[in-house]
Amino acid sequence: MTLAPSLVPARRVVPFVRDLAVHGDRPAVVTTTGEISYADLARRVEEHADRLGTTRRLVLVVGANTVEALVAYLGAVRGGHPVLLAPGGNALAALAQAYDPDVVCGPATGWAVDERRPGSAHDLHPDLALLLSTSGSTGSPKLVRLSHTNLAANAESIAQYLGIRGTDRAVTSLPLHYCYGLSVVHSHLARGAALVLTDLSVADAGFWELFRTARGTSLAGVPYTFDLLDRVGFAELDLPHLRYLTQAGGRLAPQQVRRYAELGRRGGWDLFVMYGQTEATARMAYLPPDLAVAHPAAIGVPVPGGTFRLAPVPDQPDPQVGELVYAGPNVMLGYAESPADLALGRTVTELHTGDLARRNPSGLYEIVGRRSRFAKILGLRVDPDQVETLLARHGVQATCVGADDELLVAVTGQPYARAVRRLVADEVGLPPRAVRVLVLAELPRLPSGKPDLAGLRAQATAPTDAGPPAAPTDAGPPTDAGSLCRLYAQVLDRDDVRPELSFVDLGGDSLSYVEMSVRLEQELGHLPPNWHTLPIEALRAPRRPGGRRRSLETSVALRAVAILLIVGSHIPLFTITGGAHLLLAVAGFNFARFQLTGAGRGDRFRQIGASLARIVLPTVAWIGAVMLVNDEYRLSTLLLVHSIVGPDDARTEWHFWFVEAVVYLLVGLAALLAVRRVDRLERRHPFALPLGLTALGLLGRYDVFGLDARYDLPAALVAGWLFTLGWAAARAGSVGQRLLVTAAAALTVPGFFGQPAREALIVAGFALLVWLPTVPSVRVVNRVAGVLAASSLYIYLTHWQVYPHLRDLPLLALAASLALGIGYAALAGRVLAAARARSDRAAGWLSTLLRRG
């Protein structure tokens, strides 16, 4: 029952929460399922507040970007209850244990409210409204205590300088439990504007579909968000309602600030660079958009109602630099480090930010370093921020942190650790042994997107020596990720394998995938779905090892079967054709999985280039060697252009039509994906694009241009649709999409050869790829299939020179063809690995010389 207003004790409520209903039928929340009006939101908030009652209690709310979490948070604030807004996962458990909340609101089977006690176990100060984790300490018992005045003042200040209108619609691109993300909610509710509520990443195509559909007007991001925006081609996105971007949560490189500011000028929207800390509720400074191009390194001016001063710093050589100190109504009450601190009132009146700053001649403040981040290494004072800036100028993304006796430098991409170490050591003045470079797939980040310095230190203290390669064993699954890391290091020939990386992160390709899948199944006793994209630490053996069933990855099985059919039919030991065209479909399947990863365009091109090298180099080497001893092949064969230039009467050049087709397809698709719009289209519609390309490829298959396609067009144009349909098979994520790929194969393959058995084989192969990730097997079959699949290209290249001499002994011809191809695969693998190692060393030396220059 709801008490009459006269019987409800006086309680302090934030105005913008109390007055939600004032905005009536105006939309308050927009989701993928529809809109919620302010009137409806106010009703839900009041109902939640009534449920919590009038006795003030400490309410922990799991801050997800969902309607339920938003209502739970606002309802608790509306009821005057102090809210501990927390992330999920391990951090949630740590905070709940440390502060023993009276009520917990969070996801369970849906959304649950767990009332642990009718009253409160705590003495709660009347000004206390909100508890948030400090920046960089998610899950730590140390919390920021914020008052009702803090929340109201900062929301009003932000709404004022951003010029938020009632018609604005801000997307929740940051977590609700992060002060920056929460400030977006507060400032827009304060103006009766709408929130486009989503937990999707800006790297997700669905995010932008929702943004456009909801007519989004603003987007908030930390520096990492802007890296993701670059990856998705933000500059080319059509966002007709966008009014401004905001950036905070860390320093955005000046060149990026200037680039996005200029982009905004051309696009008709503004960039607001902002500065803040949780201790100031959210914002302390902003850079007016019209000054961003001229002053991209500045944080700007204090927010309305706030002031700055520069406090002297001992041993600071520049008298213009001091510690930035902020004062204003949004400064926190103080910290809480235990439940007893919840009874405290205000313990601070101004905020010492810990940032070193100066004021430039234009009156704008600039951050020049972080006082607390300075590290003393071997007696030398080092600023990790300056090291990160140095590396950024050389195109290396890095996060740095000082340890006891060394500087840790985490980098991403494919930099050369030795060159980075020397560059940093020379610039800072440290000996190279005091600089440790960690090459990671992704820099460790907090849920807010900020660098996770604690996580970096943890990675640095983890064992880095992968040790000697682990020999195959029948002793059962590994007990930890360490043995799997050693296995990955052996198969991939990498010395930077870490548990948080996946096969794809480590540069695995379709050839190494075969060996890895077989060895991994041998270790674990099964193959987890999409294991190649899972972190090594996520791979686990079944709980009951005795009941394990052996299986073989379907694409590996098809490669092994196809190469056997190709060689056996050529001898002929039997006549079962269609193996090469089935391999073409599997090649497209693997192209989608290993070349079209979530990496940036540059990394994708490097992956495609590496695949081309692994195909072209051994092919040309073999053909060239054969040409030295006989005249079986011609120059057009060596150059892999026979299907284009002929001659038509050749008897042996058709041997390599399959290799030419794959090479042409990879080159053509790389050129196509070089177009930014196409690259973005593939990321947004990963299934629709290959299906569309398949439809185009069928123009050649059905002789739409009046050509005799089987003879007048290169094989890549005639049979390329099998490759793109295999690509679509890899992207088919729903039952409907799988059915569509299966139907496409069943409708288009029959009639292509006029050989029903051959066509049935290819259709069956597509069905297996689409519907069965693995097939039942036994250990010995797995080992044999793994070797055959990994060597399939090399067997295909070399068998032409073997079986003609042993036609009278077909079984021996088959065995000899397979043996030579497997041997050539082993030799080529060693040569390519040695060449790659020399190339890496040479590139490292060259990089060092260029950077020193």
Check residue 1 and give its pLDDT. 35
845 band by pLDDT with thresholds 50, 70 and 90: very low
101 band by pLDDT with thresholds 50, 70 and 90: very high
DSSP assignment string, 483-520:
HHHHHHHHHHT-S---TT--TTTTT--HHHHHHHHHHH
Higher per-residue confidence, 170 vs 733: 170
Distance in angstroms (rounded) separating the CA atoms of residues 277 and 283: 7
One domain, residues 336 and 397 = no
Higher per-residue confidence, 413 vs 531: 531
Tell me: pLDDT of 510 over 80. no
Structural domain range at position 385: 374-461
| pLDDT tens digits for range 643-698 | 888 766 556 667 898 999 999 999 999 999 888 889 888 888 889 999 999 999 88
In a 13 Å sphere around the CA of 684, the CA atoms on its Cβ side amount to 17
Please give the distance of CA 100 from its chain centroid, rounded to a whole number. Answer: 35
Give the least confident one: 3-7, 266-270, 452-456, 506-510: 3-7
Check residue 239 and give its pLDDT. 94
- CATH number of the domain enclosing 533: 1.10.1200.10
- CATH number of the domain enclosing 433: 3.30.300.30
**Omega cis (within 30) before 647:** yes
Say if 798 falls within a structural domain. Answer: no
One domain, residues 528 and 614 = no
Distance in angstroms (rounded) separating the CA atoms of residues 226 and 259: 11
Q: Could you give the number of structural domains in the chain?
A: 4
One domain, residues 337 and 390 = no
pLDDT (mean) for 524-545: 69
DSSP symbol at 241: T
Higher per-residue confidence, 852 vs 335: 335
3-state percent breakdown (helix, strand, coil) of the chain, nearest 5: 50, 15, 35
One domain, residues 62 and 139 = yes
In the structure encoding, which two tokens stand for residue 579, read together?
């193996």
Give the least confident one: 102-106, 151-155, 380-384: 380-384
Distance in angstroms (rounded) separating the CA atoms of residues 245 and 268: 11
Question: 390: closest CA among 338, 430, 440?
Answer: 430
Question: 161: closest CA among 18, 277, 290?
Answer: 290
Check residue 87 and give its pLDDT. 84
625 band by pLDDT with thresholds 50, 70 and 90: very high
Question: 429: closest CA among 377, 388, 391, 371?
Answer: 377
Mean of pLDDT over the chain: 84
Check residue 460 and give its pLDDT. 66
Say if 369 falls within a structural domain. Answer: no
One domain, residues 530 and 656 = no
Distance in angstroms (rounded) separating the CA atoms of residues 604 and 683: 12
Tell me: pLDDT of 190 over 60. yes
Tell me: pLDDT of 819 over 80. yes
Say if 412 falls within a structural domain. Answer: yes
One domain, residues 677 and 735 = yes
Higher per-residue confidence, 473 vs 282: 282
Q: Between the CA of residue 628 and those of 621, 633, 649, 659, what are the distances in Å?
A: 11, 10, 22, 21
pLDDT (mean) for 220-245: 90
One domain, residues 73 and 188 = yes
Distance in angstroms (rounded) separating the CA atoms of residues 578 and 575: 10
pLDDT (mean) for 31-49: 96
Distance in angstroms (rounded) separating the CA atoms of residues 723 and 717: 10
Say if 29 falls within a structural domain. Answer: yes
Give the least confident one: 271-280, 406-415, 627-636, 820-829: 406-415
Say if 574 falls within a structural domain. Answer: no
For CA atoms 285, 286, 288, 292, the dihedral sign is positive
Examine the fold and report which residue of 359, 386, 402 is the final residue of a domain before the chain moves on. Answer: 359
| pLDDT tens digits for range 752-766 | 888 899 999 999 999
One domain, residues 341 and 265 = yes
595 band by pLDDT with thresholds 50, 70 and 90: confident
pLDDT (mean) for 506-515: 70
| Residue 346 DSSP SS3 | coil
The percentage of residues in the chain with a pLDDT greater than 70, rounded to a whole number, is 84
Tell me: pLDDT of 261 over 70. yes
Tell me: pLDDT of 572 over 60. yes
Say if 848 falls within a structural domain. Answer: no
DSSP symbol at 334: E
| pLDDT tens digits for range 352-400 | 998 889 999 999 999 887 776 667 675 566 778 878 888 887 778 888 8
Check residue 708 and give its pLDDT. 43
Examine the fold and report which residue of 292, 324, 359 is the final residue of a domain before the chain moves on. Answer: 359
In the structure encoding, which two tokens stand for residue 366, read together?
């600039």
One domain, residues 334 and 456 = no
Tell me: pLDDT of 506 over 80. no
Distance in angstroms (rounded) separating the CA atoms of residues 494 and 491: 8
Tell me: pLDDT of 451 over 90. no
Check residue 58 and give its pLDDT. 97
Residue pair 574/580 in contact by the 8 Å Cβ criterion: no
- What predicted TM-score, i.e. pTM, was given to this entire model? 0.53
One domain, residues 400 and 287 = no
Examine the fold and report which residue of 752, 775, 798 is the final residue of a domain before the chain moves on. Answer: 775
Check residue 711 and give its pLDDT. 47
DSSP assignment string, 655-667:
GGHHHHHHHHHHH
Q: Between the CA of residue 817 and those of 80, 559, 781, what are the distances in Å?
A: 80, 16, 19
Helix (H), strand (E) at residue 629: helix 601-629
Check residue 67 and give its pLDDT. 95
Instruction: Look at the block and give the residue holding tokens 């987007």.
Output: 219
One domain, residues 606 and 633 = yes
The percentage of residues in the chain with a pLDDT greater than 90, rounded to a whole number, is 49
Tell me: pLDDT of 496 over 90. no
Check residue 520 and give its pLDDT. 78
Distance in angstroms (rounded) separating the CA atoms of residues 300 and 286: 5
Say if 596 falls within a structural domain. Answer: yes
Tell me: pLDDT of 466 over 50. no
Say if 813 falls within a structural domain. Answer: no
Tell me: pLDDT of 287 over 90. yes
Residue pair 274/330 in contact by the 8 Å Cβ criterion: no
One domain, residues 662 and 544 = no
**Which residues have CB under 8 Å from 109's CB, separation 6+?**
none
For the chain, give the number of residues.
853
Distance in angstroms (rounded) separating the CA atoms of residues 271 and 138: 28
Distance in angstroms (rounded) separating the CA atoms of residues 768 and 321: 67
